[in-house]
Structure 1
């Protein structure tokens, strides 16, 4: 489970609010993973993936527009990472989810948390420095 801390802020309210929503999506996946009472989690996994897909596309667009607006020198690298993230989400095969739902949630959760730790908390923080 991820809990937002002020130290995660990049000091831009719009982007910080969007990052908090990505934390929420990750925590939805975490709650689903820990729900031992629900055997078939397929539909909930699909909802989380769709939310992640649509929200990150929206968020990346906002973030990239802001980086261009402030002439951020790391824009190209950020854009490449954003595009790779979207490509990975778009490549998800529904068959893979249904084969082993619990493992899939674990993998998805790892992907989201890794993105937060490596991209948001390291690379996005450079935008405002």
Structure 2
């Protein structure tokens, strides 16, 4: 499984880890759909999963940013900018592109999600881990 949750992704903050795991689950659904080679048009399912990913990502980012604001995290603006870049990338996926080349759009999205999510969690989210663990006690 390409979107396998690993212990190294755990922030130690239960709610954030739960939300990160959900993002991995959606990524797995996208991968499973991309792996289907049944000659069927999966446009509606692809669009549905992309919308689900966008909606859940916005929910997760809002939650995380609220926690960072409460904790007076000093690097919150840079963190928000990273979040916005992810959302912007998701928004770049056009319905026409999906319709023309479903498999390629999904594979590009999978590569982007894997690189971004794993890098963001281990790189950026771990910077606030100690502060939030202390604040949420």
Per the normalisation by structure 1, the TM-score is 0.93
Is the Cα–Cα contact under 8 Å of residues 9 and 118 in structure 2 kept in the other structure? no
Measure, in 2, the Cα distance between the counterparts of 1:121 and 1:8. 6
By how many angstroms is 1:38 displaced?
4.7
How many residue pairs are counted as aligned between the two chains? Answer: 129
Per mean C-alpha deviation after superposition, the further-off stretch among 100-109 and 89-98 is 89-98
Question: Equivalent residue for 2:65?
Answer: 64
Distance 1:6 1:95 in 2: 38
Contact 1:10 1:127 in 2 (8 A): no
1:13 is matched with 14
CA–CA distance in 2 between the matches of 1:90 and 1:54?
Answer: 11
Q: Is the 8 A contact 1:2 1:23 kept in 2?
A: yes
| Contact 2:27–2:110 (8 Å) recurs in 1 | yes
Residue range with higher mean Cα deviation, 96-105 or 2-11: 2-11
> How much has 1:43 moved relative to structure 2?
1.1
Match of 1:47 in 2: 48
Partners of 1:96 and 1:127 lie apart in 2 by 37
CA shift, 1:13, in A, is 0.6
Written as runs of structure 1 = structure 2, the 5 A alignment for 1:110-121 is: 110-121=111-122
Structure 1 gaps of 5+ residues are none
Is residue 30 of structure 1 aligned with residue 31 of structure 2?
Answer: yes
Task: Give structure 1 regions of 4+ aligned residues with deviation exceeding 2 angstroms.
Answer: none
Alpha-carbon offset, residue 55 of structure 1:
0.4
| Matches of 2:75 and 2:101, distance apart in 1 | 38
- Relative distance call for 1:47 and 1:38 in structure 2 (3 A) is farther
Q: Which runs of 5+ in 2 are unaligned?
A: 131-137
Q: Give the drift of 1:17.
A: 0.4
* Alignment partner, residue 110 of structure 2: 109
